[in-house]
A and B are shown apart, each in its own frame.
Chain A
Amino acid sequence: MDFESPDVEKDFPGLYASESGRKSNESDFSDGAEHEKPSKKDLLGRRKDKKESKKDRGYAALEGESSPEEDTDTKSPSKSKKTKSFKFPTKSKEKREKSRDKEKVLEDAIKQKELSEKEKKKEREREKEREKEREKEKKEKEKREKLREKDKIKRTAMVYSVGSRVRVMHHLRSVFAKEKEEKAKFKLESKEKLKDEKKEKGKDKEKEKVKEKEKEKVKEKDKDKKDKKLTKVPSTVTSGIPFEEIFTLGVALPIFGVPLQQSVERSRCHDDTSLPLVVRDSIDYLQANGIKSTQIYRSEPDKIKLQQLKKLFTDRGPTFPYHWDVPVACAMLKNFISELPDSILTQELHGQFEQVTAIAEPQRETTMLALIGKLPAPNYSLLGWLMRHFECVVANEQINHVNIQTIATNMGPALNMSLNLLTYFISKAEKLFPDVHLSKYVPPLASIPADFPDSAQAISLELHKQESLLNQIHAEMHAGFITPARDQQLWEAQRIVTQLKRKLRSVQKSVEPHSLQQHQISVDEKQPDEEPIRRLSQSQPQPQPKSTTPQDTDTKTPNEPLPNQEVKESPNDPTFEAEFEDNFDNFKPEKEVSEQEPPPAESIKEKPKLTEKELKVLRLELENAEYLQLKSLLQAKINSEQFEIVKLRSAVALKNKQEGSQCTKDSKECNSQDEQELRQKLIKENALLEQKRLNLINQIFQERVACIQLKIELAMKEILSKS
């Protein structure tokens, strides 16, 4: 008996695999051989128990959790071990796991009784919820809402009445955990993951259905966010438990299995690449550690590790290097993509993309480019990043033995595109996605270090990230996720933003020596820390002092003497701004590039040998960085000018109102010859001044461009000498 059961499994693997359904047990019993099996397995388990008990103690708690979960299917806890054996496909690995499960269950029966009962209850609740949700799907949205609400309350009540804080602890940890806690959690969660995986394998199809439903639910949730907020919060109040401990951000606003756009919004990279953080981190990891690995897009990942990582991303927790390895990163990418409800190429365009591969070459590329241009931004970046990444992988075929075929077999099903199309994308990645550059993501800083770079560009870059982070926190809070921790995060992010803004302003001020000298002195007296910044920034961005000072003078000086002239002048200002804006529009495509790849230093590290092409790229990047800096400066100027205009206009309007009629009469009466001469003189002078001003602006701009070129030369030489 004892030795029979494993053989049965080996001989008829399909038997167990086919019984994937939840309530498939009944069908099992029709088969005589299988009917007996549970008892055999039990015996087997006991026997093994004695042998292996010492090894696997660490798993006991885990298995305790996992076994009850499956019980829920039969809803009789005592059967748990038996039913398990039926459910899963009979791969040897899983067998081992199963048998271990049993051992644990028996071995730590006393301990587990408690745990498993709790888990069972929870599981039953979950099951009920799922079932209810399925029913709900048929009903109207509003009804669904109410039901879910009830479920939630029930669930919370159950969880607490049972007194098991395990789940809550999970969530707490995942949100606030530091590394040690993370490791502890790793173990705990790995159990959960284990069972989940088993379940998934066994119930593939059903699960998928459930998932789809859940996805739909998610969509509804988004729609009804506001309603939910109202309903959720009271429920937490009544139960006295912080809202997020029961219903985490990850549960309510998942990032897996939702439309790409949502995923990007919920877990964004704060440097304007519209990629979900999961994708960015996975590609970053692979680019850094996987390109030369023979495991890339080939090896199967450690499932536990994968699930753990996935949970971390879902809960927006931090990840640490020990969470990652090459197969896991590949699988993470695959997992994310395959869970997307829509094709990367979008439903509408997918067919067209496939058709384009049939077109002959010269036209193919242009049509493809046009099609790619139609993709929404998140889809474009995801596709671009993936293909550029694959391109890198395939380029190292000599080392990692991965070719397009390998990638196609590994990722093809997830990407859902033909080999032809994938091959085309990968081989032409550089042409098709010219503005996608794989750069490592640097998340927003948690605090501003004392040695933070002092260049306006670095500051505004970080500022931009922090503001993006701040927006996300606000969005999460508006979605109803309000916790003391998030409040604190909000204040901290806001403080950093303020700090950066001040720093940026002081850097910019330091470049405008005339107009704001007085202020600056007072600032510097109180903030000696910022002085070195000023000196540095003065030595670095040379074009700015030249540009800003004349600009200041020529906008301000004509304004001061004659208040009436302001009205004449101000309409000119917008055009003047437009001139600059236009000039910079030309650089926009390049700007995007530089935003994605801000640190040229990094690219050097990654590619120690600089080819001519790379040099060109580097030069362009530097140029873009400079122009970006210039742009932000000018933008600031424009803003202040605009404000000035508004202010002056309102002042003029006020004066006109007050003395409107009188003035006109007066002016008509006093049209003596002297007056007229004076007026004509003034008008002529104004015209002259205007001409001069325009000339100056042109000169300034040219000089600025020259300065930038020179700076880039300098920087290039420095880089070359270093490398």
Chain B
Amino acid sequence: MLETPNPSTNPRNLYTWCACLVSPAKMSKKPAAQPTLHKVIMVGSGGVGKSALTLQFMYDEFVEDYEPTKADSYRKKVVLDGEEVQIDILDTAGQEDYAAIRDNYFRSGEGFLCVFSITEPESFDATQEFREQILRVKNDENIPFLLVGNKSDLADKRRVPLDTCRERAQHWQVPYVETSAKTRDNVDKVFFDLMREIRSRKSDDSRATNGDVKKKKGKKMKCSIL
């Protein structure tokens, strides 16, 4: 529905593509092994629709009745830009009771969907805390991250102005997307966008470890920051 693409997404994708061209050997190896696995973690306060988004993405089902999640994990094979990949989705608890468990998962997450409900300003405020927690655990400002305003079907009950959301996303330098788990609006989009970020992030990292490509990467990184 609504989204402000992260300026860094597009150039990064380009580089990934370049990297593929540069190192064909790597590409030939990949398909032989298991499909690449991207680990996505859903965070956000209780009742904002993390599980609903996940279930809608996984099984195309929308569950009306609310049942607080402790933690759930799903795996799905998807085709991401022509490449078969696996996505692991970890649906975490919004309730603070399970915060201790959450930490263990955050550590191994590669990308985060930070969900709030556009009808609930408290949940929007809470995203700040989640963001901080993630950055603390991952110790990485550029971790793939999407700010997701859910329940866009309830536009008449909207209590978090669109501008405020966009502002925060811009401040964090992350994309902002509004979704509806009920109508399936933008559901696939958030997951695929995040996977793309994770993928480009991974190829960045692998290039960083490769001496040859390191120089190139350094220059380009600067550009994207600018």
Residue positions of A touching B, CB distance < 8 A: 474, 477-478, 482, 484, 487-488, 490-491, 494-495, 497-498, 501, 519, 522-523, 526-527, 640, 643
Which of the four size classes fits the interface of chain B?
A: 20 to 34
Q: Are A523 and B61 in contact (CB under 8 A)?
A: yes
Q: Are B60 and A526 in contact (CB under 8 A)?
A: yes
Q: Are B74 and A478 in contact (CB under 8 A)?
A: no
Measured in the bound complex, the distance between the Cα atoms of B65 and A523 in whole Å is 15
**B60-75 contacts to A (CB < 8 Å):** 60-61, 63, 65-67, 71-75
Q: Are A491 and B39 in contact (CB under 8 A)?
A: yes
Q: Is B100 interfacial (CB-CB < 8 Å)?
A: yes
Q: Is B107 interfacial (CB-CB < 8 Å)?
A: yes
Residue ID in chain B nearest A477 by CB atoms: B104
Chain B contacts for A495, CB-based, 8 A: 73-75, 88
Q: Are A487 and B59 in contact (CB under 8 A)?
A: no
Measured in the bound complex, the distance between the Cα atoms of B100 and A495 in whole Å is 18
Q: Are A491 and B59 in contact (CB under 8 A)?
A: no
Residue ID in chain A nearest B71 by CB atoms: A494
Chain A contacts for B104, CB-based, 8 A: 474, 477-478, 482, 490
12 interchain pairs, CB-CB under 8 A: A474-B101, A474-B104, A482-B104, A487-B108, A494-B71, A494-B73, A495-B88, A497-B72, A498-B72, A519-B61, A527-B59, A640-B65
Q: Is B90 interfacial (CB-CB < 8 Å)?
A: yes
Measured in the bound complex, the distance between the Cα atoms of B71 and A656 in whole Å is 35
Q: Are B73 and A491 in contact (CB under 8 A)?
A: yes
Chain B contacts for A501, CB-based, 8 A: 72
Q: Is B105 interfacial (CB-CB < 8 Å)?
A: yes
Q: Are B90 and A491 in contact (CB under 8 A)?
A: yes
Identify whether the interface residues of A are mostly helix, strand, loop, or mixed. helix
Q: Are A498 and B74 in contact (CB under 8 A)?
A: yes
**B99-137 contacts to A (CB < 8 Å):** 100-101, 104-105, 107-108
With known contacts A491-B88, A491-B90, A523–B108 Cβ distance under 8 A? no
Measured in the bound complex, the distance between the Cα atoms of B61 and A497 in whole Å is 19
Measured in the bound complex, the distance between the Cα atoms of B102 and A474 in whole Å is 10
Chain B contacts for A484, CB-based, 8 A: 108
Residue positions of B touching A, CB distance < 8 A: 39, 59-61, 63, 65-67, 71-75, 88, 90, 100-101, 104-105, 107-108
Most buried by A among B67, B73, B100: B73
The 9 closest A-B pairs by CB, nearest first: A494-B73, A487-B108, A498-B72, A495-B73, A477-B104, A498-B73, A526-B59, A491-B73, A522-B61
Q: Are A494 and B90 in contact (CB under 8 A)?
A: yes
Measured in the bound complex, the distance between the Cα atoms of B103 and A679 in whole Å is 55
Measured in the bound complex, the distance between the Cα atoms of B60 and A563 in whole Å is 33
Additional 14 contacts, C-beta under 8 A, given A491-B73, A495-B73: A474-B104, A478-B100, A487-B107, A490-B108, A491-B88, A491-B90, A495-B88, A498-B73, A498-B74, A519-B61, A519-B63, A523-B59, A526-B59, A526-B60
**A39: shortest Cβ distance to chain B, in Å?**
57
Chain A contacts for B65, CB-based, 8 A: 640
Q: Are B72 and A494 in contact (CB under 8 A)?
A: yes
Measured in the bound complex, the distance between the Cα atoms of B78 and A470 in whole Å is 27
Residue ID in chain A nearest B74 by CB atoms: A498
Residue ID in chain B nearest A487 by CB atoms: B108
Measured in the bound complex, the distance between the Cα atoms of B72 and A198 in whole Å is 50
**A633: shortest Cβ distance to chain B, in Å?**
16
Measured in the bound complex, the distance between the Cα atoms of B61 and A494 in whole Å is 21
Measured in the bound complex, the distance between the Cα atoms of B104 and A478 in whole Å is 8
Measured in the bound complex, the distance between the Cα atoms of B104 and A484 in whole Å is 11
Chain A contacts for B74, CB-based, 8 A: 495, 498
Q: Are B61 and A526 in contact (CB under 8 A)?
A: yes
Measured in the bound complex, the distance between the Cα atoms of B88 and A527 in whole Å is 19
Q: Are B75 and A490 in contact (CB under 8 A)?
A: no
Measured in the bound complex, the distance between the Cα atoms of B60 and A523 in whole Å is 9
Measured in the bound complex, the distance between the Cα atoms of B99 and A478 in whole Å is 12
Residue ID in chain A nearest B69 by CB atoms: A498
Most buried by A among B67, B71, B75, B104: B104
Chain B contacts for A474, CB-based, 8 A: 100-101, 104
Measured in the bound complex, the distance between the Cα atoms of B98 and A474 in whole Å is 12
Measured in the bound complex, the distance between the Cα atoms of B117 and A340 in whole Å is 54
Q: Are B67 and A643 in contact (CB under 8 A)?
A: yes
Measured in the bound complex, the distance between the Cα atoms of B72 and A495 in whole Å is 7
**B61: shortest Cβ distance to chain A, in Å?**
6
Chain B contacts for A482, CB-based, 8 A: 104, 107
**A72: shortest Cβ distance to chain B, in Å?**
39
Measured in the bound complex, the distance between the Cα atoms of B61 and A487 in whole Å is 29
Measured in the bound complex, the distance between the Cα atoms of B39 and A497 in whole Å is 17
Residue ID in chain B nearest A484 by CB atoms: B108
**A609: shortest Cβ distance to chain B, in Å?**
46
Residue ID in chain A nearest B105 by CB atoms: A490
Residue ID in chain B nearest A647 by CB atoms: B66
Measured in the bound complex, the distance between the Cα atoms of B74 and A522 in whole Å is 19
Residue ID in chain A nearest B88 by CB atoms: A491
**A311: shortest Cβ distance to chain B, in Å?**
27
**B158: shortest Cβ distance to chain A, in Å?**
20
**A411: shortest Cβ distance to chain B, in Å?**
40
**B9: shortest Cβ distance to chain A, in Å?**
26
